[in-house]
Amino acid sequence: GTCEELVDRLQANDLIAKRSISDSHLHLRLNPQSFRGDEGLPEDFYCPITMEVMEDPVMAADGHTYDRLAIQQSFASGNTKSPMTNQLLETANLIPNRNMKSRIADWKDKNRGMKGITNRTQQLVGELVTSTTASA
């Protein structure tokens, strides 16, 4: 019936959108400079999961630093592997990276006159919505 066809179409569109977001996220992880709005900002200020400047940097068991919320969400979704190495993490314990937090705060203080740090995730989602709407 018509209802079943509509559900099938919606599920297919949902899968396409999820793949598109996943592909875009992978592209950004592999090519972060392609979406940088913050010139002069050190690469290590960006969370490798969200590709945004970290608010609460923490070090995971893999030795890499992530934004706390992003790595906690990764753990909450059942992922026990390192986002950077894909190796199994021995523990979900997170250690605050105070040095990184201080460096980011110092950079923000020194560069307040700049346009500010852009929220690239919002921009990406906006572009994806626009492109999927335009192609529909």
Domain limits of the chain?
2-135
136 pLDDT exceeds 60? no
pLDDT band at 116 (very low <50, low <70, confident <90, very high): very low
**Average pLDDT rounded to a whole number, residues 16-26:** 66
CA distance 69 to 51: 13
Task: Give the chain's mean pLDDT.
Answer: 80
**pLDDT above 90 (res 112):** no
Over residues 8-37, mean pLDDT? 65
pLDDT of residue 15: 72
65-104 pLDDT, tens digit each: 999 999 999 999 999 999 999 999 999 999 999 999 999 9
The per-residue pLDDT for 20 is 64
Tokens matching residue 71? 């790595």
pLDDT of residue 8: 80
Fold observed for domain 2-135 = Herpes Virus-1 (3.30.40)
Give the C-alpha separation, 46 to 105, whole Å: 13
Give residues with Cβ within 8 angstroms of 14, minimum separation 6: none
For residue 59, which phi and psi values (nearest 5 degrees)? -100, 130
**CA Rg, the chain, in Å?**
18
| Single-letter code of the amino acid located at 30 | L
Strand 95-96 relative to strand 65-67, pairing:
unpaired
